[in-house]
Amino acid sequence: MNPDAIILAGGRGIRLQSIVYDRPKPMALVNERPFVEWLIRWLRRQGVRRVVLATGYMAEAYERYFGNGAALGIEIHYSVEQEPLGTGGALRRALDSVQSDEIIVLNGDSYCQADLTQLRQRHREQKAQVTVWLTEVGECDRYGAVRAAEDGAVIEFCEKQPGLGRGAINAGIYWFQRAAVEIIPLQQNVSLERDLFPSLIGKGLYSYTGHGPFIDIGTPDSYAAAGEYLRAEFARLEVD
């Protein structure tokens, strides 16, 4: 798979700091490895060979642990933000380290059993600017919901609120055209979820809805559940 991947790993993880205080959130240990290592292994398994880690808080921890990625059989580069730029700003800053015209983008604190081949197919069929992997969950209250048309065109992002019930959520996995990243202003704090994506509704923002498990490590409760919940999946990644 030719596109480079960017993992957004600049967050501090304030809600998690009561139990993970000596490292950035994506470096929190899950099944004895940093969570972001599992994401890198997952990308490699799906054919990605070049990854950019977009880091910020305690950025040195990533480079000290991963180096150039040779130990994992993948090429790793780094884009370090000196001040918080949000998910969109961090993505725009990392673009200088990307060689491909299409880019896979992942949040560094969540995992979903997505299929990048299916995501790429939807993206190219619709000639999309950005395609978002959605996944069905029983309760959308904590995440907010995403409404899409039959062809995958995103219609609406529903804010987090009680009573949303079952529906599709943004799983934090995206297929971007380079041009869609280039429209993000340089060195400005921009959110993909609140700023960029709403501005692209009706202008090339599509989705693919899967049914794989989704988990994030943003809170102590979800972090505690991550190891057991993903143990079997991570075991498959470890043998590659």
- CA 229 to CA 57: how far, in whole Å? 27
Residue 160 bears catalytic tag: yes
Provide the terminal-to-terminal Cα distance of the chain, rounded to the nearest Å.
16
49: Cα within 13 Å, side-chain hemisphere: 5
Question: How many Å separate Cα 53 from the centre of its chain?
Answer: 11
Which tokens belong to 181? 């990243």
Helices and strands (H, E) in the chain, number of each type? 8, 13
**CA–CA separation, 218 and 215 (whole Å):** 9
CA–CA–CA angle 51, 54, 57 (5° rounding)? 140
- Residues 6 or more apart in contact with residue 199 via CB below 8 angstroms: none
Q: Are strands 154-158 and 110-112 parallel, antiparallel or unpaired?
A: unpaired
Residue 58 CA from chain centroid, whole number: 19
Nearest to 80 by CA among 56, 108, 50: 56
Q: Which position among 25, 127, 160, 203 bears the catalytic label?
A: 160
Give me the active site residues, please: 160
